[in-house]
Structures are given as C-alpha cells and as structure tokens.
Amino acid sequence: MAAKPVDPWNTCLNTTLEEEDKEVFAIVENEKLRQWSGLELIASENFTSQAVIEANGTPLTNKYSEGLPGARYYGGNEFIDELENLCRKRALAAFGLNPEQWGVNVQPYSGSTANFAALTALIQPQDRLMGLDLPSGGHLTHGYQTNKKKISSSSIYFQSMPYQVDPATGYIDYKRLEENAALYRPKLLICGASAYPREWDYATMRRIADQHGAYLMCDMAHISGLIAGKEAISPFDFCDVVTTTTHKTLRGPRAGLIFFRRDKGDDLENRVNQAVFPSCQGGPHNNTIAAIAVALKQAASPEFQQYAKQVRANASKLADALVGYGYKLASGGTENHLILWDLKPQKLTGSKVERICDMVHITINKNSIAGDKSAVTPGGVRLGTNALTSRSMKEDDMVKVAEFLHRTVQIATKVQEQAGSKLMKDFVAHCDGNEEIAQLKKEVVEFARSYPMPGFDATKIKSTVTI
C-alpha cells in the first residue's frame, strides 16, 4: 500500500530541530560551545557519552508506563518492560549486588525525588531523621532547615536534627553524632553528602542506627561512580536503602535510583516501589531509563574503573597543587573527586572567586565551609575533577588547572582592593575591562579546546555566539 500523505498541519512532526526551531537550536549549540570551551569543575556535573545522549533523545519519551514491569496501568509496554528490567539488572551488576539481597527502582526523576520517595518508604510523617547539615556539606533533602525556616520538604514533613563536621578538622564528628542520636532517637540516619571530601565510616553509622532500631540510608549521589569503579568504600555492605543520582561521577543522564534490601524482612521492596509510584511520582521517563541503562553498562566496564581511578588521582593532584600555593582546604585534602577550598584566609568570598572563574570560563560553585554564617556569601568554593577527567585530563593538567585557579584568586584579590569595598556590586563593576581577566580567559579557552569533547563533535558546533 502506498504511504498516505502527511496532513499540512502535521508537517512539523518530521522536521529537524534546526529546521523547526532556530531559537532553541541556537541555544543548544551555544551551550555546546560553552561546554567545550571551558574548564568544568562543578563536582556534581559530568559529560555524558554520545550513546547516553542518543538514548535520552529517543521516541521512548512518548510512552506512559505507570507501574512496574509486568504490572502496568497502560497497554503497549512490552518493550518498555524489557528496557526497565534490563536497566534494573544493570544497576545491580554495576554495584556488584546480589539480586536476592538487593532490588532497585530506576524510575525516580532525580536525586531529590528519589530521596523524598525513600523517606516516604522508610518513615512516617513527623518521624525523626538525622542527616549531615547542609553547611557541613550535606544535601538539602537530608532534612535541611535553618533557625527561621524549614527549607526542604524533608524537614517540613519529617522532624530533623542534623549532625555536623568538626570545624577544626573538617571531618564528620561521629562521637557527637552518637551522643546526639542517643538523645534524639532517630528513626532514620542518612549518610552521604554534596560537599564532603572524605570517606564515610559506614560501620559506625550502622552501629549508631542499630542502637535506636533506625534505618540507615546512604545518598551516594556524588560518589556513585567511584563506588561502581571500586574507588570508594561500598555503602551496600552497611545500609538498608541507597539512593543516587545518575549524572555525577556515574556519568549518565539526569535521574535517580533507589536501591533497597530485599532480605531485611520488612517489605522494603514494596514500600520503596509504592513510594515512587503512586505516592511521589507519575509515569516514568522511559527515554531517561534507556539512557541510565546505557550509562550503567558503561559503568560496569573495566574502562570505567580506570576513569574512576583517574578522577581520584586528578583530585588528589589538584588538591596538592593548591596546597602548594599555600591555600587551605577543608579537611586538608581529599579522598574522593571533590575539594572544598576555604578562601577565608584570602579574605575573599566564594561568590567573588566564582564570579571571576565564570568570566574566564572556569565553572565552579561557591560553597559553605563549616562554620560559615551565610549560604549566600559562603567562604569557599567546591571543585570536582569528574568532568575534566572525562575530557581525558591527567595529573599534569591538574597542575595547570591549579595555576589558572591561583590566578583567579590573585585577580579577585586585586579587584577587591581596587573596589575599596566588600560589596559584590562594587566588585563586579571593577571587573569591567580588566585585562588580566581577558588574558586568562584566552588561555583557559585555548587550553580547554585542546582536549577531546565527550558526547558530541565539537568541530560541528553551529553557535551564534563567540567565546
């Protein structure tokens, strides 16, 4: 039978993005140029692979599949079931888990929804939880609240008491955590962080949780790639539930996973699955699940172990080089992919150094250092080597990156002096026309562009801007 003609009002359904929407196309191309031309040091970002990007952009986005494989609320899910089962199998394999002991839900849209679903599964509204305080490097979703306000839904719907790092050492104060837990008697202890450069003492966390019959959950989002790559201690030997994002060191698409013990005897499997859907989410994003599956296949490979090893080696070298310039790092260094750089001895805020870095195409983020009073103008910045390692950088390159960073601090110091005030608006005004900034930007861009670009062909970028 001859193909039927396309209705005129449907011709837009088979045009390329470039043909169909020049504005969005240009934004995408300009962002590609920015990614290729800069030094990406945000510890929670990475450059995912071309295969992951392809899977993420497939017609799997068209399908509704509420429910689980074999038990859906919609028809037509035979291939989606196959995909979700494959993704679940790969998730367990990537972390060396026995399917009789562990199961996984691959539907969470992100790390924050994964965490809220995990809390929903594990404890009742207004039950008590303890997570690492945000100013100590913890995540919002681990119960964050201030003196004035309950910020995260994890503190709005649950009672929260944080534990902290010892500001003198930068290490988690487990002794104080144990003492406070004895008074607070939490139902849930959460380990895992967004800005903690040291290994976790999971055995101690487990012991404290057991003293109170509490669940132990790990949010391994930042270090999941290092765990899969056998470069960090596995939390699975100690925890009841483990959550993660899939786009940080794991280098997949933006999404979340929840692992749960199947052999604990209190039905965590059903509780977690029901918490994800129908309690917290609707239909899974199947294109994303396809992309997660691809990333997990890659994460289980010997090459990924080499990548994870290099991420740590690069972080360690970058930390050493910064210390070599006389800078202070929280806890004195790093054992994972990230560095917390304390800029208070330089009398600079993280915001100002972040600002200069942005201007020279080094992408970092300002971050609280334990003891800081304000999260808006924190005293430090956070650096991570996961993305630069995906661009094939090694230890020698970290020496150069440290030199670039040192120059940003020197520039920030001079600009602050010239501004004659500590106000950000005066600082920004005095950056205009600064020749050192222009020179450093030129060098950074040239350096960055000399490294391979994962995920897309940088020679084919059709940007409408110049960098």
Asked if 143 is part of the footprint of ligand DSN (rule: CB under 6 A), the reply reads: no
Contact between residue 201 and residue 233 where contact means Cβ atoms under 8 Å apart:
no
In the complex, least distance from residue 194 CB atom to ligand DSN, rounded to whole angstroms: 4
Pattern 56-95, ligand DSN, x by CB under 6 A: ----------------------------------------
Applying CB under 6 A, does 251 fall inside the site for ligand DSN? Answer: no
Question: Where in the sequence numbering do the catalytic residues fall?
Answer: 64, 66, 219, 245, 248, 254
Based on CB atoms, which residue is closest to ligand DSN, 72 or 248? 248
Q: Is 139 in the site for ligand DSN (CB under 6 A)?
A: yes
Task: Please list every residue from 193 through 212 that binds ligand DSN, using CB under 6 A.
Answer: 194
* Residue closer to ligand DSN (CB basis): 209 or 280: 280
Count residues binding ligand DSN (CB under 6 A). 4
- The residue among 92 and 318 lying less far from ligand DSN, judged by its C-beta, is 318
CB closer to ligand DSN, 111 vs 454: 111
Which CB sits closer to ligand DSN, 128 or 139?
139
CB of 246 to ligand DSN, least distance (A): 12
Dist CA 441 CA 111 (whole Å): 33
Nearer residue to ligand DSN within complex by CB, 367 or 416: 367
Give, in order, the Cα–Cα distances in Å from 323 to each of 303, 333, 340. Answer: 30, 8, 12
CA distance 377 to 350: 7
- Tell me how far apart the alpha carbons of residues 263 and 412 are, in angstroms, rounded to a whole number: 55
Q: Is 378 one of the binding residues for ligand DSN (CB under 6 A)?
A: no
Is residue 44 at the binding interface for ligand DSN, with CB under 6 A as the rule?
A: yes
Are residues 201 and 195 in contact, defined by beta-carbon separation less than 8 angstroms?
no
Comparing CB distances to ligand DSN, the nearer of 42 and 445 is 42
CB–CB of 24/32 below 8 Å? no
Rounded to whole angstroms, the Cα distance separating 197 from 172 reads 11
* Nearest distance, CB of residue 175 and ligand DSN, angstroms: 26
Q: What is the 3-state secondary structure (H, E, C) of the chain?
A: CCCCCCCHHHHHHHCCHHHHCHHHHHHHHHHHHHHHHCEECCCCCCCCCHHHHHHHCCHHHHCCCCEECCEECCCCCHHHHHHHHHHHHHHHHHCCCCCCCEEEECCCCCHHHHHHHHHHHHCCCCCEEECECHHHCCCHHHCCECCCCECCHHHHCCEECCECECCCCCCECHHHHHHHHHHHCCCEEEECCCCCCCCCCHHHHHHHHHHCCCEEEEECHHHHHHHHCCCCCCHHHCCCEEEEECCCCCCCCCCEEEEEECCCCCCHHHHHHHHHHHHHCCCCCHHHHHHHHHHHHHHCCHHHHHHHHHHHHHHHHHHHHHHHCCCEEHHHCCCCCEEEEECHHHCCCHHHHHHHHHHCCEECEEECCCCCCCCCCCCEEEEECHHHHHCCCCHHHHHHHHHHHHHHHHHHHHHHHHHCCCCHHHHHHCCCCCHHHHHHHHHHHHHHHCCCCCCCCHHHCCCCCCC
Least CB distance from residue 44 to ligand DSN, whole Å?
Answer: 3
Q: Of 85 and 363, which CB lies nearer to ligand DSN in the complex structure? A: 363
For ligand DSN, give the closer residue by CB, 44 or 56: 44
Which residue's Cβ has the minimum distance to ligand DSN?
Answer: 44
Q: Is residue 380 near ligand DSN by the rule CB under 6 A?
A: no
Among positions 88-127, residues that touch ligand DSN (CB under 6 A) are: 111
Contacts to ligand DSN from residues 262-321, by CB under 6 A: none
Give me the least distance between CB of 139 and ligand DSN, in Å please. 6
| Residue whose C-alpha is closest to residue 41's, from 361, 359, 324, 323 | 361
Instruction: State the residues that interact with ligand DSN by CB under 6 A.
Output: 44, 111, 139, 194
